[in-house]
Amino acid sequence: MGLASSKSRTSAIEFNPNQKSKIPEYPHLKLSNFPRDDDGETIDLGDGRKMGYKEYQFQHIIQNHDSISEQREFIILLIPGIPGSRLFCHPQVLESNPESTENIIDTLTITIRLFVLERPGVGLSTFAKRTFLDFTDDIREFCIQKNIKKCSLIAYSAGGPYGLAAAYALGKPTNVIKGDENMDSLIKKCAIISSIAPRDAPNLTRSMPLKFKLAWWLAKNGHSILSMIARYEAKSACKNPIRA
C-alpha cells in the first residue's frame, strides 16, 4: 500500500520497518488557529442539528493486480475515538493533494475519499443525547445528502461501539422487512480498530497499566475528578497540540 504524496507524483510512499522512528511534522496544527473551527464542513440534519465532518482525498496504489476492478473511486467513513475529531487523519494523507496527483492516475491507482465524521457534541457537531443506534440515523442522512450509495466504515477506539451499531443498522438492506430485494446495504465493509469494550466485560482491567485502571475507576465513581483531569489535558492540548 502506498500514498501518492504531493511531493512526488510518480512514486509511492513506502513504510520501512527498519527505519528509525521519527516524529512527523503536523503543519496543519498551528497554535494561532487552534481550535480550528474553520477547517471542516457541516451538514444540516433533519432535526435542526449540525453534523461536522472533513473530507480527505488521496490516491491508493494497488499492489495486487488481481484485485483491480472497474471501480475507480472508493468512499470510507471514519468515526474517531476520544479525543478525536474531523482532524483525526494520518499525516501522509494530509500531505496528499488530489489536484497534484492527477498525472499519476493509471490502471494501478484508485481514488480514496475519506470522510471523518464528528459525533454529537464533538467539534462542529451539535450536542445531543444520542444512543449508538441513533447515530446511525445521522450517518444515513449524511450519506443521503452526499449521494453516497455504498461505502466502507472504520471506527477507532471510543468510536468502536458507534461503528458496530452502524455496521448492524446500515450493513443490511434497509427494506429487508418489506422484502425489497433491490434495496442494497449502505455499508459494505467495516473495520473496528482498538475499540473500547463494555464496562462489565470480564477481566477488562486485568492487563491495564495502573493509570488506566485509575482512570477507569474514576469514570465510574469519580466523575468530577475525571472531569477536572480532562479539562486540564484539553487546556494542555490547546497550548501545544503537536506535543499532545
The whole model's pTM is what? 0.68
Q: CA nearest 241: which of 6, 20, 39, 42?
A: 39
* 72: exposed, middle or buried (Cβ count in 10 Å: 0-12, 13-18, 19+): exposed
CA distances from 125 to 30, 96, 152, 170, 244 (A): 22, 26, 22, 21, 22
What pLDDT is stored for residue 112 in this prediction? 85
50: enclosing H helix or E strand: strand 50-61
Q: Looking at residue 10, what is its pLDDT?
A: 33
Most confident of 18-32, 88-102, 226-240: 226-240
**What are the residue boundaries of the structural domains of the chain, listed by start?**
31-196, 200-244
Between strands 109-117 and 151-156, the pairing is unpaired
CA distance 52 to 55: 10
Average pLDDT, the chain: 76
How many Å separate Cα 220 from the centre of its chain? 27
Q: Which CATH class is domain 31-196?
A: alpha beta
DSSP state of 20: P
Q: What confidence category does residue 243 fall into, taking pLDDT thresholds of 50, 70 and 90?
A: low
Higher pLDDT, 172 or 36: 172
Cα gap 156→138, rounded to integer Å = 18
In the chain, % of residues over pLDDT 70: 67
Of 6-10, 105-109, 170-174, 192-196, highest mean pLDDT: 192-196
- Give the residue with greater pLDDT, 175 vs 228: 228
pLDDT over 70 (residue 168): yes
Contacts of residue 65, Cβ cutoff 8 Å, sequence gap at least 6: 108
Asked whether residue 222 carries a pLDDT value surpassing 70, the answer given is: yes
Q: Give the mean model confidence (pLDDT) for residues 5-23.
A: 42
* Rounded Cα distance, 203 and 205, in Å: 6
Nearest to 112 by CA among 37, 32, 3, 243: 3
**In the prediction, which pLDDT does 160 show?**
93
pLDDT at 18: 52
For residues 12 and 28, which has the higher predicted lDDT (pLDDT)? 28
Q: What is the mean pLDDT of residues 191-212?
A: 85
Strands 50-61, 109-117: pairing kind: antiparallel
Q: What is the pLDDT of residues 50-85, one digit of tens each?
A: 999 999 887 777 766 665 566 677 899 999 988 788
pLDDT digits (tens, 9 = 90+) for 135-158: 999 999 999 999 999 999 999 998
Neighbours of 90 (CB within 10 A): 13
Bridge partner residues of 56 (DSSP):
114
The closest alpha carbon to 145, from 36, 55, 38, belongs to 55
> What would the grid cell of residue 64 be?
495486487
